[in-house]
C-alpha cells in the first residue's frame, strides 16, 4: 500500500532509509547524509541518530541542524556550462573557487550529476534531487558522455581504435572508449571521445598513457542532454516535460525506479 506526499511524491508505507530521504529533499547527496548522521546533525522524532541504518516514513519528524526537514520540491534538472578553473564541490579545503559559488542566487540548493575536474569545462547537470543525481550517474543508465578533447602530439588513428576494447592504466581497468580524430592543428589534435562511465580523470589518464597529454577538455553531452549554444557560466533549466520523458527512459533502460515527482 502506498501514499502520496504533498509534493506529489509516491511513497511506500514501509518507508525509506533516512539518507535517501535527506537526499530526496535536496539537502545533500546520500553520502553526505551519512556523514551528517555520523556527525550527530540529524534527529528523528527527537532522537539524535548515530547510524544511517534507519527507515523513516512520512509520519516521522526529521530535523537537521535543529531545523525541520523541508517538504521535498518537485524534481528539477538544470544544464550548466561549467568554466575551467572551478572545482565541482560545495566546499574546497584548498579554498579554490567552486561551481556552487558561481551559481545564481535564486537557484535552490542543488548538487551535480557526476563531476568535471578543475581544468575541464562544458556541460554539467545539476539537480535538486539527490536520488535522481545518483541514478543518472550509474553506468547502468547507458547514457554516453561525449567530449571534445584537444591533445598535444601526433595521434595515431589506429591506436584510437584499440581503445574501444578498453585499456588498463597503472592497474586501473577502463571500459570501452570511442575516440575519433576530428582534425590536426599544428602539434595538437582535436578528438571526439565518448564513454559510458567517465571515471575520475579517465580521459586525461588514458590520453597520457597513449602519449598525448590533454590541453583542453570540454564535455558537450551527457546522455540526451547537450551543451549546445549554452554560454559559459550560464544555467538553464530542463523543461519539466523533457525531464519526465528522460526519467521514464532511465526506468525502462535500467529496470529500476528512478525517483519521480508530479510536475505541473
Which helix (H) or strand (E) segment holds residue 55: the answer is strand 55-56
Burial 114-141 (b: 16+ CB within 10 A, else e): bbbeeebbbbbbbbbbbbbbbbbbeeeb
Query: Is 191 in contact with 151 (CB distance < 8 Å)?
Result: yes
**Closest by CA position to 67, among listed 29, 99, 36:** 36
Listed in sequence order, the DSSP H helices in the chain are 18-24, 30-38, 130-137, 157-162, 202-210, 240-254
Helix 30-38 with 130-137: angle, nearest 10 deg: 130
Compute the distance between CA of residue 124 and CA of residue 69 in angstroms, rounded to an integer. Answer: 27
**From the candidates 58, 73, 117, 208, which is the catalytic residue?**
117
Residue 251's SS3 state is helix
Bin 150: left if φ > 0, else alpha if -120 < ψ < 50, else beta: beta
Determine the Cα–Cα distance for residues 92 and 182; give it in Å rounded to an integer.
Answer: 36
| Residue 251 in grid coordinates | 526506468
* 117 tagged catalytic: yes
User: Which of the residues are catalytic?
Assistant: 117
Amino acid at each position: 500500500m502506498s501514499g502520496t506526499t504533498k509534493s506529489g511524491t509516491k511513497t511506500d508505507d514501509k518507508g525509506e532509509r533516512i539518507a535517501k530521504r535527506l537526499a530526496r529533499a535536496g539537502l545533500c547527496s546520500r553520502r553526505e547524509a551519512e556523514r551528517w548522521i555520523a556527525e550527530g546533525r540529524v534527529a528523528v522524532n527527537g532522537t539524535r541518530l548515530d547510524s544511517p541504518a534507519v527507515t523513516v516514513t512520512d509520519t516521522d519528524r526529521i530535523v537537521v541542524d535543529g531545523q525541520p526537514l523541508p517538504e521535498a520540491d518537485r524534481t528539477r534538472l538544470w544544464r550548466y556550462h561549467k568554466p575551467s578553473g572551478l572545482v565541482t564541490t560545495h566546499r574546497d579545503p584548498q579554498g579554490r573557487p567552486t561551481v556552487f559559488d558561481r551559481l545564481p542566487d535564486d537557484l535552490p540548493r542543488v548538487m551535480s550529476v557526476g563531476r568535471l575536474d578543475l581544468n575541464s569545462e562544458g556541460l554539467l547537470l545539476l539537480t535538486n534531487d539527490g536520488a535522481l543525481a545518483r541514478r543518472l550517474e550509474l553506468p547502468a543508465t547507458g547514457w554516453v558522455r561525449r567530449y571534445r578533447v584537444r591533445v598535444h602530439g601526433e595521434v595515431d588513428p589506429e591506436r584510437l581504435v584499440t581503445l574501444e576494447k578498453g585499456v588498463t592504466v597503472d592497474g586501473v581497468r577502463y571500459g570501452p572508449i570511442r575516440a575519433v580524430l576530428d582534425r590536426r592543428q599544428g602539434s595538437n589534435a582535436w578528438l571526439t571521445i565518448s564513454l559510458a562511465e567517465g571515471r575520475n580523470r579517465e580521459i586525461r589518464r588514458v590520453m597520457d598513457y597513449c602519449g598525448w597529454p590533454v590541453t583542453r577538455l570540454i564535455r558537450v553531452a551527457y546522455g540526451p542532454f547537450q551543451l549546445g549554444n549554452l554560454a559559459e557560466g550560464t544555467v538553464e533549466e530542463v523543461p519539466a516535460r523533457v525531464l519526465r520523458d528522460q526519467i521514464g527512459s532511465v526506468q525502462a533502460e535500467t529496470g529500476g525506479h528512478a525517483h519521480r515527482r508530479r510536475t505541473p
